[in-house]
Structure 1
Amino acid sequence: MRKAIANSTTESNQQVPTFFVTSEYNLDPLLELRAQLNSSLGDKGVKISVNDMIVKAAALALRQFPNLNTHYYGEKLVRHTHINIGIAVAPANGGGVIYVVAKDADRVSLSTLAQTNKEMIDRARELKLKPEDTKGATFSTSNLGPYDVDQFTAVINPPEAGVLAIGSGRKVPVVKPDGTVTAGTRIKITLSVDHRVSDGAEGGQFMFALKGLIENPMRLLL
């Protein structure tokens, strides 16, 4: 697995001209909605994670930016009609990274997405994947938040055109409109994009659209 990762990352770094866009988001509304949803799910065996909600937000944002939901093959650009989000998983034995694929992440319900993601992630950690678990990604995400990582950049998985790098949510001082200071949870997310299929302006617009979904998370349920 390490050799395959080395080959893929070398190809990406050498052949994919990449630019990066980082934004900071208010995570408190999403955390509040997550707590409410998980409480309402009760003993149904489904728990929605922050990562599930960000994956859902990314998928919905990609609807507006089809250039980022593409595969680039030399001179050929393939735009996909389905939005399938790769999710980076570290196996329990520490043997590299596996991307499981949340298919039609923009279309399925958040609870269904969460349940499917958990099942695939559990299989990936135990190296008991089904063939379909890792096929068909059109865009990817990598989350180092559980490891107390503030911010990082992720390597694009060719032929995909983009990947999101998700950091930790952190409590920080926030100045309110009336000038008072309170504590708020903020998260930094970095977008890596293949410059052959998009540009900085579009990358910034995508991140702004993502902001609207993360900071107004009821939109994830519509």
Structure 2
Amino acid sequence: MSSENDKDVKLTGLQKAMARKMIASWTDVPQFQLESEVNCEAMMAFRKKQDYKLSYTAILAKAAADTLAEFPRLNSSWAGDHIVEHEDINIGIAVDTKRGLLVPVISNADRKSLEEIMEELNAMKEKSSRGNFTMEEMQGGTFTISNLGMYRVNSFGSIVNAPEAGILAVGKMQKTVAVGEDNDINVVYMMHPTLTVDHRVTDGATGAKFLTALVERLEHPDENF
């Protein structure tokens, strides 16, 4: 139903390109989602122990990169009649900017330390306020992370950023009553990551193994970072 006070909102070139890309990803990519849960207590304690300001996005990016090294099929792309397994692990980080949603890339994230990844994220944060990322900074991604933990979003699923095979969506940490191994009851912070995967590239079992290994890394940061 229209009103005389309605107005047309013109899209920028970037917004039009993003719309076309999302339509193609949604209509052309058969995708499925897997959700898990992460006990965040050890990760929160690990973060506090660092002598620099470490974000959860940095931890997620490093954990995802190291897990992708174990599961190269998730670090792949669909190429029409074959699959390309990428040698480099380049993590795209979805960020909100004045120009719209952009996905700058942390190249070779598996070869970088947490502190190096944090430095790149700080640079992204500074640039995101202006939205002045270069095309080179947004190219070459092989896997994407979308973190909405700073908002009141418990969990969500993202559309695959084609031609990448997978994207990880993460909501906020929230207090949850949990039953321990000895049936003790505790209140802990939990997070619910959702993995979306291109079903042409891999199957549910591989996606589940990847997500399980990722959760294990996040729950035992002292042993993995």
> Which residue is 2:204 aligned to?
200
Q: Mark the structure with the bigger radius of gyration.
A: 2
> Which residue is 1:215 aligned to?
219
Q: Distance in 1 between matches of 2:22 and 2:64?
A: 23
Equivalent pairs, count: 212
**Is the alpha carbon distance of 1:188 and 1:156 closer, same or farther for their aligned partners in structure 2, counting shifts above 3 Å?**
same
Q: Distance in 1 between matches of 2:100 and 2:79?
A: 26
User: Is the 1:56–1:220 contact (alpha carbons within 8 Å) kept by the matching residues of 2?
Assistant: no
1:7 aligns with 2:13: no
Q: Which amino acid aligns with 2:60?
A: I
User: Is the 1:85–1:141 contact (alpha carbons within 8 Å) kept by the matching residues of 2?
Assistant: yes
Corresponding residue to 1:71 among 73, 77, 81:
77
Identity of aligned residues (%): 37
Corresponding residue to 2:179 among 167, 175, 178:
175
Q: Distance in 1 between matches of 2:48 and 2:135?
A: 33
> Which residue is 1:22 aligned to?
35
Structure 1: tracts of 5 or more residues without a match: 42-46
Could you give the per-residue CA deviations for residues 22-62 of structure 1, whole angstroms, max 9, x where no partner exists? 0011111011000101xx23xxxxx2101110111011110
Q: How does the TM-score come out when normalised to structure 2?
A: 0.90
Q: Distance in 1 between matches of 2:107 and 2:15?
A: 25
Q: Which amino acid aligns with 2:56?
A: V
Secondary structure of 1:145's counterpart equals coil
Structure 2: tracts of 5 or more residues without a match: 1-13
Q: Which amino acid aligns with 1:145?
A: G
Q: How does the TM-score come out when normalised to structure 1?
A: 0.92
Deviates most, 175-184 or 98-107 = 175-184
Q: Distance in 2 between matches of 1:78 and 1:180?
A: 47
User: What is the alpha-carbon root mean square deviation over aligned residues?
Assistant: 1.2
Corresponding residue to 1:61 among 59, 67, 72:
67
